[in-house]
Structure 1
Amino acid sequence: MNTKHRYITGFDGIRTIAVLGVIFYHLFPNTIKGGYLGVPVFFVISGYLIVDLLRQEWESNQKIHLKAFYFRRIKRLYPALIGLLVLCASYITLFQRNLLNNLRGVVFSSLLYFNNYWQIDNKLSYFDRFHNPDPFTHLWSLSVEAQNYLVLPILLVLFYKLGRKKDRVAGIFLLGSLASAIWMAIQFKPGVDPTAVYDGTFSRSFSMWLGASLAIFWPSNHLRASISKKAEKTLNRAGWLALLAIILSFFTLSAQSNFLYYGGMYIVSLFAAILVAVTAHPGADFNRYLSNPIFNYIGKRSYGIYLYQFPIMIFYESAVKNINHRLWLHTLIEIALILVMSELSYRLIEAPCRRYDYSQLPVRFKQWVKLPAYAWKKMVCVPLAIVFAVALFGIFTAPANQKNDAQKAFEANIAKNKKAADATKNTDGSTEVMHATNEIADKYHLTDTQLLKAQQMNITMIGDSVMLGTVEEMKEVFPNVVLDADIGRQLYSAKKTINELKKKKLLADTIVIGLGTNGVYTEEDFQNMMKAIGSKRKVYLINVYVPTQRWQGDVNRFLESMAQKYKNITLIDWYDEAKEHEDWFEEDETHLKDNGQVGYVAFIAQNVLK
């Protein structure tokens, strides 16, 4: 039996796979649609490692020094997090002041590790990157991890002091993980934004608790290197199966999939636990398979990579505007920036702070004070002090839940349009037909015959904030329209909306769908929507013009394929029309000015009335 702690290099390989999944999910959300599952893989590793180390400490000393453990965790995690928050706060203060709102809340909730609940409380959607371009969205996971770092060691000490046997302790952690997964399934509501379930501590702790259970059941220092060939083959096959299952999930399991919340994420965590177990075993080959210079390099920097990937994407894509022009070039630049920043974080912050003897800090500070003013150790502090000062200024002067005039005007307009859209649901489908006028026909480039047909037509429109902004113009052309649109709406809620309209007998035989501004489509959600609509209704799909978001091309290609697949679907190519009229759009290059609203309605009407 080996009682000395063994550094398992293969875990860096697992971290590499996990962090690459997360990055490519954010860069290619329609291709690596399950890359976010790198987070539960991280959680399993973390749960295994901390409990495995604490278990070894108990075996050696019959006690666990909790204060020393917490200090080690803070020493490992805090410096890089502080560096990220300071740099981002400085950048926002100087260059992207539209993100200043609630900066103080973000910083303090991140430092105190309750950012996940801060985001939930402030109704920030993890899944809506268009209306919530928050560079700190990803920090929810650090809070879930830190909260478990607080609880798991205390529970372990308690179990040991109560004399619980190894199998019973492992079983308790396993039951806790099952309870967490069941809670996720209970809390999840199909058709509703799942952020509260996705970010919640108890609904996301199952991965770490699985790792904790594994650490008791499969202790790294009790595993024998000498095992039978049959056992070695079995372990290696289990490792390959788990690795392939995780990679497959990265490509197939959408974050909007109902299956994910009804056990899918737990199954992925189980595969991650199998991969961790096989990699930890010295008798298997997986530690060697997952140990190479590239994996070792990325794995050691995975924390910094995870910290910087999302802010860099948000800041860079806000500066570039049309990210879809030379998308691959922009993607390579973003990856390069992430690697540079994570390397700087590792070299200048993480590695030095991890090795630093903080008991020497008072002595070192006195020595630093006595240095000449022009000494390089003092000179290098000048730019650092300026960056800190700018960050602190931004943090402490940032408004909380405050809206500027443009935001207030936008929200007032949305509220007015929402009221007008809701009023369309009170129609009985027998609005008095207006006489076609040259003025309206000319305004929307319609013939008198087309306008008369439009005014007699019963039509239902379902969309997001782009469509919502055109409600008055839609009513002018289609007086019998039932328009159900909302800010931030995505495809996963379409089935619920359609069923509600059907129940109220407001779903016409002609339906126009305008979704996709806020995120990617999934085939499962699309099939659910079409099943709710039925095959006898005529459906018009409006594709998207959202040049600031990288999912524009993915959404439009998907809609084109669905229009070919379903006989009752016609595609309205809004993208092709919109790109020729840049003067139609607001500053965000997606929402419409007055002339754009007219152009949008005219284009929809011309396609529907063909």
Structure 2
Amino acid sequence: MKPNFNPSQGMKSHYFVTGIDGLRTLAVLGVIIYHLLPNILMGGYLGVPLFLLVSGYFVTYQFSRQLKYGGHINLGHFYLKRFRKLYPTLIAMLILTTAYITLFARELLHNIRAVIITNLTWIYNWWEISHGQSYFDQFGGISPFTHLWTLGVEAQFYLLWPLIITLLFVVFKKLRNVRRVVFLLAVLSAIEMAVLYDPANINRVYYGTDTRAFSLLLGSWLGLAWPLNRLRPNLQVNSRRLLNIIGVIATVLTIVGFFSLNGQSSFTYRGGMFLYSFIGMILMATIIHPGAGMNKWFTNPVFHWVGQRSYGIYVYQYPVMVFYERLIKVGNHPLLNALVEIIIILVVSEVSYRLIERPFTQYQWSKLPADLQHVLETHHFSWQSGAKILVSALVVVIAFIGFCQPNRAPKKTAVQQRIEQNHQATEEHNKKIAKGDNVAEASGNTSKLQKQYDLTPAQIKAAQKLKITAIGDSVMADAADSIQKLMPNAYVDAQVGRQGSAAPDVIKQLKAEGHLSKIVVLNLGTNGPMTQDTLDDILSSIGSGHQIYWITAHVPTKPWQQTVNNEIKDLAKKHKNIHVVDWNKASQGHSDWFASDNVHMGPSGNDHFARLIAKAILTKK
């Protein structure tokens, strides 16, 4: 498709693309819904590339005009404008969040100074690579700052790109040559992501500026190839229709990506994210073009309202969700709680927009000394202003106290200590099983086991003979000791933070080493929902001839609890060799079985967990 632009018949430079607010709305909704309901919108994180595309386009479009007509970029004006928008909201969020943590979540003060300093210096994404948690770790100890990596990537782009684009124009002279180099850089960034991708640790490619630059660079290429001021508003009917069709298709594909592109799939990092960034670029091109109808279709009061506040919405979303979900068991009513969280996020963002973002962005800071002098001389100081200053000062003081606290890692909980101890014991036990050693309990302990697990002597004897392979996450790692005491021939492979998507490789390795028994017990779903492809891969990896006992998830603090459990029950209906071990149902009303997180168990809960597994297997034998 030709660009349909003419230097003598283009749009005026002050033309405002209202539909970009609609694109920002699509992006921020994708990200928020992903964070709230990852089981529904597993690819919602693709909203981030849309934000980066928009930044890349308008920044580069502005630079190309300045270089063409003025010969240089007004760096001072550009930096001042960008950072006047970025800093106030970011600083407010850092202060408010740190104050809340200081008062109500002190264990999150660990590394708080590093988090704040790296955010203020725009290098937080690089700090996250080596110190932060995975973006997709949505269970244990979630940081309310994780999402700010994006701001680091954008700010670094704002700092470096004016210098790089100027150098490109100096070296390559002609616009078409610069365009080619920019597009090549985008492709190289995507290739680097694919080469550096490590499924065991995706932080490097997910947070790295270099490996995420392709979205910014694709937007930049579009700013050079599809300049707004040269696009014709009056197109022939066929050209307009073609643009609209392409725009609609790109919109549909973008939404499909939101629902389907698993953030932990290798395809995502080996071309998938680049592909959807390219589709997003096409979508943005059709919205920008004044001759198409896409800009109008993406324009309405709701999109405008959200789009104008999208920065604040993005910045405040994670703290609201993290703190809300510490207090409320969202897993029991995920949709209702998601709606409540969205309302809170929008309210907080609106207050911030009115009191911080808009006033600080529009204020002429050169007038500050004169305004202060005027207030002091006239004593024009209302009680409302005094109250605002007092409250703000109190919040700042509390945040500063938290900032100054010694950087101590939070003490390990009883659950964490028990998991660490069990991990070593489980490995030793597994080695004995692998060697063929006799690991069964002495018959004299039968009465002790009978009392501990509330089973009959016959059940204890039968359980001692069971040969099973148990694969799971931290819940099973916690219960491993109880499982192997009751069923000493159980080979347990459990890992903290394990996602369902990691299970197929684990199963294949166990099978290759000869450790996959005919009876397979699965405890997957604590850390997130599983796609149908993941479920199919798990079953395919296990293969035929095995009886599978799948334990339901008990994660009342997370929205995917019911989704995971429904998936397990649906699988059992479709496959005769899959049996449901309904731990979620069995544990209802037994809060005394669980630790403070209401997910991992205490010693008594671990015994009941192991007992339920054994009874489920013995019932079917």
Give the TM-score, by structure 2 length. Answer: 0.94
How far is 1:369 from its partner? Answer: 4.1
Segment drifting more, 564-573 vs 230-239 = 564-573
Aligned with 2:507 (options 482, 486, 498): 498
Which residue does the alignment assign to 1:334?
341
- CA 1:171–1:491: 2 relative to 1, 3 Å: same
1:482 aligns with 2:487: no
Aligned residues: 605
How far is 1:432 from its partner? Answer: 5.1
How far is 1:3 from its partner? Answer: 5.3
Which residue does the alignment assign to 2:461?
452
CA contact under 8 A between 2:415 and 2:600: conserved in structure 1? no
Which residue does the alignment assign to 1:51?
60
How far is 1:429 from its partner? Answer: 4.0
User: What is the distance in 2 between the residues matched to 1:604 and 1:410?
Assistant: 20
Aligned with 2:475 (options 461, 466, 469): 466
- CA 1:256–1:204: 2 relative to 1, 3 Å: same
User: What is the distance in 1 between the residues matched to 2:198 and 2:347?
Assistant: 40
- CA 1:439–1:408: 2 relative to 1, 3 Å: closer
User: What is the distance in 2 between the residues matched to 1:509 and 1:213?
Assistant: 56
CA RMSD of aligned residues (A): 1.8
CA contact under 8 A between 1:125 and 1:132: conserved in structure 2? no
CA contact under 8 A between 1:13 and 1:295: conserved in structure 2? yes
Matches within 5 A, 1:168-567: 168-190=177-199, 192-320=200-328, 322-370=329-377, 372=379, 375-376=382-383, 377-397=385-405, 399-404=406-411, 407=412, 409-426=414-431, 427=433, 428-431=435-438, 433=440, 434-435=442-443, 437-567=446-576
CA contact under 8 A between 1:459 and 1:510: conserved in structure 2? yes
Query: 1:507-561, CA deviations, whole angstroms, 9 ceiling, x for partnerless residues?
Result: 2111111121111112222222222211112111111111111111111111112
Residue identity in the other structure for 1:43: L
Query: 1:229-256, CA deviations, whole angstroms, 9 ceiling, x for partnerless residues?
Result: 1111111111111111101111112212
- CA 1:196–1:522: 2 relative to 1, 3 Å: farther
* 3-state SS of paired residue (2:527): coil
Report % sequence identity.
Answer: 39
- CA 1:124–1:369: 2 relative to 1, 3 Å: farther
- CA 1:276–1:103: 2 relative to 1, 3 Å: same
How far is 1:101 from its partner? Answer: 1.6
1:601 aligns with 2:610: yes
User: What is the distance in 1 between the residues matched to 2:404 and 2:37?
Assistant: 35
1:100 aligns with 2:109: yes
Query: 1:319-365, CA deviations, whole angstroms, 9 ceiling, x for partnerless residues?
Result: 12x22334333222211111111111111111112211122222223
User: What is the distance in 1 between the residues matched to 2:316 and 2:224?
Assistant: 33
User: What is the distance in 2 between the residues matched to 1:55 and 1:401?
Assistant: 49
* 3-state SS of paired residue (1:540): strand
CA contact under 8 A between 1:461 and 1:511: conserved in structure 2? yes
User: What is the distance in 2 between the residues matched to 1:504 and 1:370?
Assistant: 83
Structure 1 unaligned segments of length 5 or more: list them: none
How far is 1:193 from its partner? Answer: 4.2
How far is 1:492 from its partner? Answer: 1.7
User: What is the distance in 2 between the residues matched to 1:194 and 1:158?
Assistant: 32
User: What is the distance in 2 between the residues matched to 1:121 and 1:222?
Assistant: 45
* 3-state SS of paired residue (1:324): helix
Residue identity in the other structure for 2:297: Y
Which residue does the alignment assign to 1:571?
580
CA contact under 8 A between 1:105 and 1:400: conserved in structure 2? no
User: What is the distance in 2 between the residues matched to 1:568 and 1:370?
Assistant: 84
CA contact under 8 A between 1:515 and 1:544: conserved in structure 2? yes
User: What is the distance in 2 between the residues matched to 1:496 and 1:425?
Assistant: 19
Aligned with 2:130 (options 117, 121, 129): 121
Which residue does the alignment assign to 2:92?
83
Which residue does the alignment assign to 1:65?
74
Structure 2 unaligned segments of length 5 or more: list them: 1-9
How far is 1:472 from its partner? Answer: 1.9
